[in-house]
């Protein structure tokens, strides 16, 4: 991720500490990759290594999230949404993704193996690309207040 973007987020979170989690460890990242059978994108890893689960325009979940974000880890979110999708016969590609957030309406926001940010809409059954990369997603959605 661009150093200037990380600096902006860091400055924002230093003023809003309840939106910043505990930075992720190498062990947590490795365990999640093994359990979810994915490789976490380097930009996402950099984000959670710096900020843990934190707010960046949207609540981005990690392993230890800011107190205002909630306790669900990416393992929890991914496992739940894969189960829901599989039980309902929708979004088979979600099995290769990992869920980092929700869109505010309960739909999972996930990173694909290619690093794209996708939202899976349970109401319409459609998948939409939100951004070509995690960094682009954060750049588009993060605004200081």
Residue 145 has pLDDT above 90, yes or no: no
What is residue 98's predicted lDDT score, i.e. its pLDDT? 99
Total of domains in the chain: 1
User: pLDDT by residue (tens digit) across 45-100?
Assistant: 999 999 999 999 999 999 999 999 999 999 999 999 999 999 999 999 999 999 99
Structural domain boundaries enclosing 67: 3-141
User: pLDDT by residue (tens digit) across 96-127?
Assistant: 999 999 999 999 999 999 999 999 999 999 99
User: pLDDT by residue (tens digit) across 11-46?
Assistant: 999 999 999 999 999 999 999 999 999 999 999 999
Task: Output the domain CATH number for residue 91.
Answer: 3.40.1580.10
Q: How far is CA 13 from CA 40, 56, 141, in A?
A: 23, 9, 15
What is residue 144's predicted lDDT score, i.e. its pLDDT? 86
Q: How far is CA 44 from CA 8, 56, 80, 110, in A?
A: 16, 12, 20, 11
Percent over 70 (pLDDT), the chain? 100
Rounded-to-integer distance, Cα 120 and Cα 22, Å: 28
């Amino acid at each position: 991720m661009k150093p200037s973007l990380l600096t902006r987020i860091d400055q924002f979170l230093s003023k809003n500490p309840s939106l910043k989690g505990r930075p992720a460890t190498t062990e947590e990242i490795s365990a999640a990759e093994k359990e979810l059978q994915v490789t976490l994108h380097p930009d996402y890893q950099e984000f959670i290594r710096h900020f843990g689960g934190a707010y960046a325009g949207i609540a981005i979940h990690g392993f230890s999230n800011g107190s205002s974000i909630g306790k669900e880890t990416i393992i929890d979110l991914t496992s739940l949404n894969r189960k829901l999708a599989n039980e309902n016969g929708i979004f088979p590609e979600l099995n290769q993704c990992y869920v980092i957030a929700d869109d505010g309406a309960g739909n999972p926001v996930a990173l694909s193996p290619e690093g794209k940010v996708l939202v899976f809409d349970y109401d319409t059954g459609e998948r939409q690309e939100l951004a070509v990369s995690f960094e682009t997603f954060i750049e588009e959605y993060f605004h200081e207040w």
